[in-house]
């Protein structure tokens, strides 16, 4: 009889877990448009400011709510701006944003290292400053004698940059020359109907070892990543990166391979950036599993934006000379994560379900015993 009870309890618990498992899943969804925000509100005062922080490179750089062309609102970015996720992601996530831009050097970054925790390198071509690789910052690769890659924005990760007739996919690469950072750029064919200056919806699905990219609902590329934990001896501090990235188009055809990447394998920070250009963003969407997501530290090093050194493969504008320091709006990042709150909220539910299983099992056993007694008495 004890064996029967044990089997029944196990079966009941298994049934409850299989059917009520959504109650135990910790996921977070953020969907933001800015139609309910007052015009002129800064981005950190909007709902997006709960999950993203802003770093600017000059006093006249900004990110504020403005009217759009159809009677709603959007965020207008101007100058040197980084809009960075508060959370570091080490679980799968999906991120999308509507972006309107008339120039290069506006991009979405993923699988990046927080720039304030990343390497700093003395830059002889920029008055010997200790160069911090903000997303809006130039990597100064070719300008410092680099010969095997392109110069572009950012210091780590993967970027998606709407361009004139293509969508640029940039992979940040480790190099032994230059300042140690370059970019391998793939020009992806723009989807049908794409026009720069009009709304462009960029969607990124990060499945940890693969990143899928679509624009305006059209799948464009998949970046397949391997050999995580690769470290580069010249880095200080040292981070783990994916050594190899294989880029394929939507049909699965290989477009190219990048070795010694600076695509972070420890976590992913998401960012939207502009380098001395204007753009607008709207309809930001983020879905992720929260279990292992972590948050960056509050204190960050403030660093100057720098002038783009001449024309390059990805630069179509002539930036103004910048001498002021970037600043970060004070954002409280010590909030309790949704996962911790849900864990506390789910505890009574779990106890109740297990108790119900025991009660059901006991009821079944009692019914069996009564039935047997009736059978004997008859």
Of 100 and 310, the one with more pLDDT: 100
Specify whether 265 is located in the same domain as 134: yes
CA triplet 197, 201, 204: central angle to 5 degrees?
135
Specify whether 328 is located in the same domain as 368: no
pTM for the model stands at: 0.76
Residue 366's pLDDT is what?
53
Mean pLDDT, the chain, rounded, equals: 81
Position 368 pLDDT exceeds 60: no
For 15, the token pair is: 């049934």
Range of the domain at 369: 2-20+341-377
User: Do the beta carbons of residue 290 and residue 339 sit within 8 Å?
Assistant: yes
What DSSP designation does 149 have?
Answer: S
For 53, the token pair is: 């922080």
85 within a domain of the structure (yes/no): yes
For 121, the token pair is: 């390198």
Specify whether 80 is located in the same domain as 185: yes
Q: Which range has the worst mean pLDDT, 231-240, 256-265, 308-317?
A: 308-317
The average pLDDT across 105-120 equals 97
69 within a domain of the structure (yes/no): yes
Residue 76: φ, ψ to 5°: -100, 120
145 within a domain of the structure (yes/no): yes
Nearest to 48 by CA among 74, 72, 66, 70: 74
314 within a domain of the structure (yes/no): yes
State how many domains the chain has: 2
CATH of the domain at 121: 2.60.120.560
Residue 364's pLDDT is what?
52
Distance between CA atoms of residues 357 and 166, nearest Å: 58
Distance between CA atoms of residues 112 and 100, nearest Å: 23
- Count CA atoms closer than 13 A to 243's CA, side-chain side: 7
Specify whether 65 is located in the same domain as 181: yes
CA triplet 268, 303, 264: central angle to 5 degrees?
20
Residue 25's pLDDT is what?
44
- Count CA atoms closer than 13 A to 311's CA, side-chain side: 1
For tokens 């006093």, name the residue.
Answer: 59
CA distances from 253 to 7, 172, 241 (A): 52, 21, 24
The average pLDDT across 227-232 equals 98
- Determine the straight-line distance between the first and last CA of the chain, rounded to whole angstroms: 22
The average pLDDT across 210-217 equals 98
């Amino acid at each position: 009889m004890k064996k029967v009870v044990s089997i029944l309890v196990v079966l009941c618990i298994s049934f409850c877990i299989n059917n009520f498992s959504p109650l135990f899943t910790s996921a977070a969804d953020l969907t933001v448009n800015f139609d309910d925000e007052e015009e002129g509100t800064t981005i950190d005062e909007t709902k997006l400011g709960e999950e993203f922080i802003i770093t600017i490179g000059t006093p006249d750089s900004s990110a504020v709510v403005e009217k759009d062309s159809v009677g709603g609102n959007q965020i207008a970015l101007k100058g040197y701006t980084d809009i960075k996720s508060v959370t570091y992601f080490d679980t799968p996530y999906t991120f999308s944003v509507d972006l309107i831009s008339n120039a290069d050097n506006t991009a979405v970054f993923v699988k990046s290292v927080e720039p304030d925790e990343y390497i700093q390198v003395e830059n002889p071509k920029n008055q010997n400053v200790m160069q911090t690789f903000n997303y809006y910052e130039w990597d100064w690769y070719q300008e410092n004698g680099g010969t095997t890659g392109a110069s572009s924005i950012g210091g780590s990760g993967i970027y998606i940059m709407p361009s004139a007739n293509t969508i640029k996919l940039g992979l940040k690469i480790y190099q032994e020359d230059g300042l140690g950072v370059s970019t391998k750029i793939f020009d992806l064919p723009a989807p049908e109907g794409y026009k720069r200056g009009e709304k462009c919806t960029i969607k990124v699905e990060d499945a940890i070892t693969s990143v899928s990219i679509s624009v305006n609902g059209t799948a464009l590329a998949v970046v397949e990543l391997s050999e995580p934990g690769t470290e580069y001896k010249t880095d200080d501090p040292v981070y783990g990166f994916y050594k190899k990235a294989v880029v394929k188009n939507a049909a699965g055809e290989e477009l190219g391979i990048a070795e010694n990447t600076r695509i972070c394998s420890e976590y992913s920070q998401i960012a939207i950036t502009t380098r001395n250009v204007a753009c607008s963003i709207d309809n930001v969407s983020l879905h992720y599993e929260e279990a292992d997501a972590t948050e960056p530290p509050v204190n960050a090093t403030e660093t100057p934006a720098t002038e783009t050194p001449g024309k390059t493969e990805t630069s179509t504008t002539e930036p103004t000379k910048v001498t002021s320091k970037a600043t970060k709006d004070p954002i409280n990042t010590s909030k309790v994560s949704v996962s911790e709150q849900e864990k506390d909220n789910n505890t009574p539910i779990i106890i109740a379900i297990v108790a119900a299983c025991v009660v059901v099992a006991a009821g079944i056993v009692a019914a069996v015993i009564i039935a047997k007694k009736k059978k004997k008495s008859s």
